Chains A and B, each alone.
Chain A
Amino acid sequence: NAGVTQTPKFRVLKTGQSMTLLCAQDMNHEYMYWYRQDPGMGLRLIHYSVGEGTTAKGEVPDGYNVSRLKKQNFLLGLESAAPSQTSVYFCASSYPGNTIYFGEGSWLTVV
Chain B
Amino acid sequence: AQSVTQPDIHITVSEGASLELRCNYSYGATPYLFWYVQSPGQGLQLLLKYFSGDTLVQDIKGFEAEFKRSQSSFNLRKPSVHWSDAAEYFCAVGISGGGADGLTFGKGTHLIIQP
Contact = CB atoms under 8 A, between A and B. Distances in A.
A93 to B, nearest CB: 10
Contacts of B90: 42-43
Given A40-B107, A42-B90, A42-B105, A96 B42 contact: no
Give the interface residue-count category, chain A.
Answer: 20 to 34
A44 B46 CA distance: 17
B97 A99 contact: yes
Question: For chain A, what secondary structure do more than half of its interface residues adopt (helix, strand, loop), or is it mixed?
Answer: strand
Interface residues of B, number: 25
Given A90-B43, A103-B43, A104-B42, A97 B96 contact: yes
Contacts of B98: 31, 94, 97-100
A43 B105 contact: yes
B78 to A, nearest CB: 21
Interface of A: 4, 31, 33, 35, 40-45, 48, 50, 56, 58, 90, 92, 94, 96-105
Interface of B: 4, 9, 34, 36, 41-46, 49, 90, 94, 96-103, 105-108
Q: What are the 6 tightest A-B residue pairs by CB atom distance, in nearest-first order?
A: A104-B43, A42-B107, A97-B96, A42-B105, A100-B98, A102-B44
15 contacts: A31-B100, A33-B102, A43-B90, A43-B105, A44-B105, A56-B100, A90-B44, A96-B99, A99-B97, A100-B34, A100-B103, A102-B44, A102-B45, A105-B41, A105-B43
